[in-house]
Amino acid sequence: MLLALPAIIDSGVIEIAREVYGSIGPAFYGLRTTIVTLLLMALLRIKRPEGLKGRSPKDLGRILGLDRAPEVKTLRRKLAQLACYGRAGEFGHALAERRVATRGHAMGFLYVDGHVRAYHGKRRIPKTHVARMRISMPATTDYWLNDAEGEPLFVVTTEANKGLVKMLPEVLGEVRSLVGDRRVTVVFDRGGWSPKLFKKLIGEGFDIITYRKGRRRRVAKSRFRLHQATIDGREVRYLLADQNVRLLKRKLRLRQITVLSPNGRQTQILTSRWDLSAIEIVYRMFERWRQENFFKYLREEYALDALVDYGVEPAEPARSVPNPKRKQLDAELHRARTHLQQLEAEFGLEALDNPESRRRTMRGFKIANSMLAKRIRGAMKQVATLENRRARVPARVPVQEVVEGDVIKLAVERKHLSNLLKMVAYQAEGDLLRILAPHYQRSEHEGRTLIQNALASPGDIAVTETELRVTLQPLSSPHRTHALAALCEQLNETKTRFPGSRLRLHFAVQREPSPSMAFPGPRPSKGGTSGTGVESV
């Protein structure tokens, strides 16, 4: 686990925590120890504080430079103490500033998307649609901002599951305070579709790339051309059609690039970038799946959806919500219209099967079906009555008129702080992966798995007057061990000091035993006996 310390210290999380929170009082486990403990727990896949019960406090304490690691109740108390300061937003902003300063080259394209955390408790909180479950249920939505390489930058928790259209101005306001006046292209999915919002964002100096939403005219196949290029070391090729479109009654001019799939499906992408090639626009749009993979990875490896705090806090009582009375009237009106359509269809079938020899005129037909016509007029009257009733009911009302008792929401601060620390742990993993990539051929597919195995591998610790020497055991194969040794050499060049001490970290990999040491005696023959005539076991 000590391999991650250079990346953690380089992120500035310890310094920033000291600047934002100051101190958490005189204690054996102070602010620095608490922050480092939570980060190393995340990297070690201890997903909740309760997971410490299955670990040796002495073994974890050695990683922290102490005789034992904090217990569950101690760590939860420290986390609650930090949450009481209410400075998670300030903490996240400072971390993002540090990240922009060190990785400014990856801030040209930023990806924004929301992650829905489903809630299974007994509290009554607002519902939202959980796409991966295909159901609407109580949940909380967090909006994440990732850079061009899929690395997270910061996270914002919404008030009552606001949509992407409402959250984009808030998120991009934070972005502008971080990156200054530099040009930024924001990439998002159809949830942020709003031509009015596009015009506003472009006026504020942002460029956009998003999917086109709604019904639109298909592009003729004759307009598609094959485009191919190498972007970020990857060879890509698409059938593309490039054209200009106008929205908002021709007041907003954008560029539309349509992608033709082998199955004939057309995917239309809108952008305000006129200077980029069409194939790069499509590549950047499709790279949005990096953010989806990021959410999946954090859910499975870091327990992103875990409920850290069971507490609640007051929510805004004047917030408008859909009126349940109008929803009930909508259901009644739908049933009434369906019943009317059934009666009208029955009346039409009667007209189709009308024997002209008996009823040659419409007057005769109406007399014969007077009861059915009466039922249709009654159904039409009921539909009109329900429409008038619904028109007098407001579509949205304050939430305090709907909810019985206090208006509440799940406590945000502790979860926000936990998300930020998991984000820093993920960033440290990514920094180690970038160092490892030149030395490991399959780093794109297996790099994070190798980093995880390296962080969990055993080793020896030796303390000298000036160094903390960490000697790791070899990994499962020679080429993985070679990559780990190269990682250790580059980490040694950083000359990182162990937090709270003057000891410089020095990493090395133990040499693998030679074949003569592994097999000191003669090898057994194919016949099952050794060279001395003794039967092999």
How far is it, in rounded angstroms, from Cα 264 to Cα 221? 9
Residue with tokens 């349509």: 258
Q: Tell me, what's the pLDDT at 514?
A: 59
Give the DSSP per-residue string, 6-65. HHHHHTTHHHHHHHHH----S-SS-HHHHHHHHHHHHHTT--SGGGGGGS-HHHHHHHHT
Cβ distance 79 to 5 under 8 Å? no
Structure tokens, 149: 């390489």
Element (H, E) at 504: strand 504-509
The whole-number pLDDT of residue 526 equals: 46
CA nearest 220: which of 253, 266, 262, 270?
266
Specify the 3-state DSSP secondary structure of 463: strand
Q: Residue 242 forms beta bridges with which residues?
A: 257
Round to whole Å and give the CA distance between 175 and 155: 11
> DSSP letters of 230-296?
EETTEEEEEEEEEEEEEETTTTEEEEEEEEE-TTS-EEEEEES--SS-HHHHHHHHHTTHHHHHHHH
**Residues 6+ away with beta carbon under 8 Å from 488:** 3, 472, 507, 508, 509
Q: Is the separation of the CB atoms in 225 and 258 below 8 Å? A: no
Pairing of strands 184-187, 206-211: parallel
* CA-to-CA separations, 96 to 85, 90, 219, 244, 514, in angstroms, rounded: 19, 10, 42, 36, 48
Tokens of 265: 């499906």
Single-letter code of the amino acid located at 364:
G
* Helix (DSSP H) and strand (DSSP E) numbers for the chain: 17, 17
**Given the DSSP bridges, would you call strands 152-157 and 184-187 parallel, antiparallel or unpaired?**
unpaired
Q: Which residues pair with 18 in a beta bridge?
A: none
Question: In whole angstroms, what is the distance from residue 433 CA to residue 446 CA?
Answer: 10
Q: Do 182 and 229 meet the contact criterion of CB atoms below 8 Å apart?
A: no
The pTM for the full model equals 0.84
Most distant CA pair in the chain, distance: 117
Cα distance between residue 114 and residue 171, in whole Å: 11
Gyration radius (Cα) of the chain, Å: 32
From first to last of its 537 residues, the chain has per-residue pLDDT tens of: 999 999 999 999 999 999 999 988 788 899 999 999 999 999 999 988 888 998 899 999 999 999 999 999 999 999 999 999 999 999 999 999 999 999 988 899 999 999 998 888 888 888 888 888 888 888 889 999 999 989 999 998 876 678 899 999 999 999 999 998 888 999 999 999 999 999 999 999 999 999 999 888 899 999 999 999 999 888 999 999 999 999 999 999 999 999 999 999 999 999 999 999 999 999 999 999 999 999 999 999 999 998 887 777 777 777 777 888 998 999 999 999 999 999 999 988 888 888 877 777 888 888 888 898 899 999 999 999 999 999 999 988 887 777 777 777 778 899 999 999 999 999 999 999 999 999 999 998 899 999 999 999 999 999 999 999 999 999 989 999 999 999 999 999 999 999 989 999 999 999 876 555 544 555 554 444 444 333 333
Give me 466's structure tokens: 């000036």
Q: How far apart are CA 433 and CA 451, in angstroms?
A: 7
Q: Please, which residues bridge with residue 142 across strands?
A: 115, 157
